[in-house]
Amino acid sequence: FFAFSSSMKRTTTPKTRKVKRCKLCHNAGHTSVDCPSAEAAAPETKVAKAITCFQWIPQGASLTRMLEDAPEEMPEDSYFTDTESEEEELKETDYLFVVGKFDEGRDSNSVGVIVYDDVATVQFPRRDVILSHPPLALSWLDFTTTPGIGKSFAAVGTLLPSVEVFNLDYKDDPLPVVTLGGAKSEKDYYSLENAKNNLKKGSHKDAVLSIDWNINQRNLLASGSADQTVKIWDLETAQCGLTLNRHECEVLRTKWHRTDKQLLLTAGLKDHTLALGNVSENDCLKWDVGGQVEEVQWHPHQSHLIVVGMTSGMVKTYDSRTTAKPLASFQAHDGECTCVALNPHIEGLMATGSNDQSITLWDIRGAPKKIVSQKPGVGDVFALAFHPNHPYLLGGGGSTLEELVWILGNELSETDFKLPKLR
């Protein structure tokens, strides 16, 4: 079962409808063949658009009702108004996720919060933040040094040499609550050229390609950049505490270990290298993975294992305790393996996505075995994530700009994959 987003709000008798739109102007009512703007568009023009980032927000990690006013030092309840509708109040069966999108044709860049209603099986928007540049990286976090301003935030990386942290519990606040690095002068902040020539101390010098919040040391955030560095930020001071130089190319991925608060995994864009080490030390282990990396993930049930998705379509598994060859390697897709997700509840259940427009579920408890593969209609798949609290929710998105929620229960029950008893 697939659920897609729409502009509808919650209703008691929901209906979902997929609207076909023109590929040239993205409007409904006609096709690209008879589009009024077809003559003006070059025949080979392809509009660049995608969901680039997707992350579930843990249950209970957002305020039940969104805040209306500008932040002040007063209790949370003082922000609630009597004008909020029942539609805007979260229910126990609502699951929230945050997505980053860009649409070059519409010159539109944004980060938004979407609510998935598990009972009505509909989705509707809750929060939308307009960005100056396309979102390249995103990490949800609940850390703040200011009480009473909400408890759900998103750190966002773009083409700018900075990380912007937005409050997801405020309805209409367009500005970041804190900015890590970037231009010294406010007038230069959103100019790519000017920002890079007048930077704050400790700032990145180029686009931010990856971000990861340290859930075990909650004031720390790691970011990887096209400037070939990794920055460790202290959220309490909004300052860069460490700069790591592990790669001789753009740093595509940064992933904190699930239990060791000092251990950080990074991947270069072009050097075919993974690097792993304690951020307080200069030395690190390195692996030559034999090709370009698309995604890296820590195994949620075997904390020493690293799973890598490759541009070649391969998926490889490495033991972080040794720099030996991969423990496992298999061809997951004919196209690029753009994203990898491992289920935190069901051991051995992995999902991979590709620019071949498919999502495949795998059993990796032994030799990797394909469970089921689907083309859900989101175009090239660029983001996937399992829900941290719900074992059967898989979310993601791709080049059609439609958010996807895949409810896995039926698909798994109809295969040979034996579901374990959940804790």
pLDDT, tens digit, 9 for 90 and up, residues 38-61: 433 333 335 389 999 999 999 999
pLDDT, tens digit, 9 for 90 and up, residues 152-205: 999 999 999 999 999 999 887 889 999 999 999 888 888 888 777 889 999 999
pTM value is 0.85
pLDDT of residue 31: 52
pLDDT above 80 for 299: yes
Mean pLDDT across the stretch 237-253?
Answer: 96
Three-state SS sequence of the chain: CEEECCCCCCCCCCCCCCCCCCCCCCCCCCCCCCCCCCCCCCCCCCCCEEEEEEEEECCCCCCCCCECCCCCCCCHHHHCCCCCCHHHCCCCCEEEEEEEEEEHHHCEEEEEEEEEECCCCEEEEEEEEECCCCCCEEEEECCCCCCCCCCCEEEEECCCCEEEEEECCECCCCCCCEEEECECCHHHCCCHHHHHHCECCCCCCCCEEEEEECCCCCCEEEEEECCCCEEEEECCCCEEEEEECCCCCCEEEEEECCCCCCEEEEEECCCCEEEEEECCCCCCEEEECCCCEEEEEECCCCCCEEEEEECCCEEEEEECCCCCCCCEEEECCCCCEEEEEECCCCCCEEEEEECCCCEEEEECCCCCEEEEEECCCCCCEEEEEECCCCCCEEEEEECCCCEEEEECHHHHHCCCCCCCCCC
Computed over every residue of the chain, the mean pLDDT equals: 86
pLDDT of residue 67: 82
Q: Tokens 């305020």 label which residue?
A: 63
Six-digit token pair at 5? Answer: 């987003």
Say if residues 203 and 188 touch (Cβ distance below 8 Å): no
Which of 376, 320, 318 is CA-nearest to residue 351? 376
Pick 365 or 4 by higher pLDDT: 365
**Which pLDDT band holds residue 10 (cuts at 50, 70, 90)?**
low
pLDDT of residue 24: 40
Percent of the chain with pLDDT over 70: 83
pLDDT of residue 412: 77
